[in-house]
Amino acid sequence: MSSKTESLLSILKLQPVVPVLIVEDVASAVPLARALVAGGLRAIEITMRTPAALDAVKAVAAEVEGANVGAGTILNGRDFDAAVKAGSTFIVSPGVAPGVLSAAKDSSVPLLPGAATASEVMTLREAGYDVLKFFPAEQAGGSAYLKALSSPLAGTLFCPTGGISLKNARDYLSLPNVVCVGGSWVAPKELVSAGDWAGITKLASEAAALKG
C-alpha cells in the first residue's frame, strides 16, 4: 500500500460519513465546519461547484481545528492544483481524467477518484488506486451492485456517494468493501441558511454513530 493510499485511508476512517458540502457563502464555511467537527465528523469534502468553494477550503483549513478538509468535484489538473494550494488534505473526483491523474501523480495529496463500473474500477486499479469513490451510488446500482463487486474486485475499497441518506447508509456501511460513505444530508441547505449550527451538530452526531 502506497503512502498516499495510507494517508487517504487514515482520513476516510475517521468517521463512517464524510459530509459532502456545497458552500454558497464563504462566511458560512467556518461555522459549518466547526459544527460538523463538534458532531464527530472531522473529514469534510467541499465541492468545487460554487465561486465560494476555494475560499471556503482556505478558510476551513486555516481556522477550524481538528478538521481535515478536502476538495470535491475536481474535474481537471488545474482545479486539482488550485485545491491543493488552498489547503486541501485530500482530493475527490466524480470520475477520472488524464489531467487529474497526472496532477495527482505529481502531488503528495491523495486522490479519491470516482468509478461506477467494473471496467472503471479495473482501469483505476491498474493506475495504482485501491480506494475509490463509487458514484453516483444509488443511481449506479446501489449497495447490491457494490456487494456484487466485492468478490471479483477484492482488495478495492469504496466510499459510496450519491443518493445516500441516514435511511440507507447502513446498507453500504455493512459491506466489506466500504470504508465510509459520503453524504450531504448532514448539512441541509435550510439549516445552513438559518445558521442553525446546533442542528447540524446533532445531525453530524447521528451520522458519526452509524455502523454497518
Sheet with 111-112: list strands edge to edge. Answer: 111-112, 90-92, 68-72, 43-47, 17-21, 181-183
Task: Please state, in angstroms and rounded to a whole number, the distance separating the CA atoms of residues 133 and 116.
Answer: 8
Give the number of C-alpha atoms closer than 13 A to the C-alpha of residue 5, restricted to the C-beta side.
15
Q: Report, as residue numbers or ranges, the catalytic residues.
A: 45, 133
Containing H/E element for 145?
helix 142-149
